[in-house]
Every structure is written in C-alpha cells, then in structure tokens.
Structure 1
Amino acid sequence: MVTMTAPTPDADGHTVSPDAGALVVDRRSGKVGVVMGHVGTYVQLRPPRGGREWDVPPEDVRTPTPTEELSAKVAAANRRWGR
C-alpha cells in the first residue's frame, strides 16, 4: 500500500527524510516515486508501478501535487490489475 506522507522539517528546520512507503517527487527529474528506504544520506525511490530504484538527496524530494498523487495511485492500481 502506498501511503501519501511527505518530508517534514525538524525543530532546526532541516529536512527529515520521509518514511518507507511515502509517495514523493524527485525535484531534479520531476519523477514520482515511493520511498523504499535510505542508503547513507540518500533516499531510495522506486516508480509506483515498480521498476528500478534511484537515489535522491532528501532535500530534493517534495510532496506530490494532488494530480501527481492521483496519477501514482492509478498507476499502482493498474499494476495490480495487470494493465
């Protein structure tokens, strides 16, 4: 299940990496990804439909827009139904 949470700043204003399962957007490429985990200082993302993971610095992830979020949910549902 894809949860729709986003990175949040901590008390010092630093970006806190999102939890596994969060849906975020890579600011550098504009691609939507699901957080799979963290490696070193990077967040690992994977496309909602599955595929190859890529690494993103936590400061380069953002909350998806409602349109991006809906598109990712549809892509994940289509994958479940084999479309």
Structure 2
Amino acid sequence: MATTERDQSVPPGSCELGEVMWDMGKDVPGVVMGHHGGDRVQMRAVSGGKEWDALRVRPLTPRERLSLHLAARNEATRSRP
C-alpha cells in the first residue's frame, strides 16, 4: 500500500507555535499552542476551546487547508450584522 501525505507524521517538537497541524490521534486540525518535551504538543481547536496534548501530528493537506479557510470565511459572513 502506498503512503500518502495524510499518513506522514512529523516530530511534534518540530512544529512552530501558532501553526495549524492535524492531530492524527483525534483526527482533527488544531493550532499548536505549546510543546511538552520533544514528544508532544499542546493544541487547541482552530475555533478556540480547551487545549489537548497530541502525540502524532502532520501538516494539513492543501485540501484540508482550503476547507478550513472557507469554513472561517463562511462563519465570518454569517456573523455579520
């Protein structure tokens, strides 16, 4: 079976603060909020909320990044008076 970019994790310690990554354990995107040692990162949902620890993360695919961007634009449009 061929591996895809969705299967490729990166070392959690290599993630930049504020970067949006995909938590492979929870199968959701999140913003990197901090590091714990070199084996995990603390993440928060893109829309805010409670933080969690992630052990396996990967960069978002272009499609996932576009989907998040469009969801944010749609939410901003809906919340206008």
TM-score interval, normalised by the smaller of the two chains: 0.5 to 0.7
Higher helix share: 2
Question: Residue in 1 aligned with 2:59?
Answer: 63
Structure 2 CA distance, aligned partners of 1:46 and 1:75? 17
In structure 2, runs of 5+ residues without a counterpart are 1-8
Deviation (angstroms), 1:78: 5.1
Whether the aligned pair in 2 keeps the contact of 1:49 and 1:75 (CA below 8 Å) is no
**TM-score under structure 2 normalisation?**
0.65
In structure 1, runs of 5+ residues without a counterpart are 1-6, 9-14
The one-letter code of the counterpart of 1:24 is M
- Mark the structure with the bigger radius of gyration: 2
The one-letter code of the counterpart of 2:64 is E
Over the residues paired in the alignment, what is the CA RMSD in angstroms? 2.5
Structure 1 residues 59-78: Cα deviation after superposition (integer angstroms, max 9, x where no partner): x1001111211222234445
**TM-score under structure 1 normalisation?**
0.64
Whether the aligned pair in 2 keeps the contact of 1:46 and 1:52 (CA below 8 Å) is yes
How many residues align? The count is 69
1:54 corresponds to which of 49, 52, 55: 52
Higher relative contact order (CA 8 A, sep 6+): 2
Instruction: Answer with 69-78 or 31-40: which moved more.
Output: 69-78
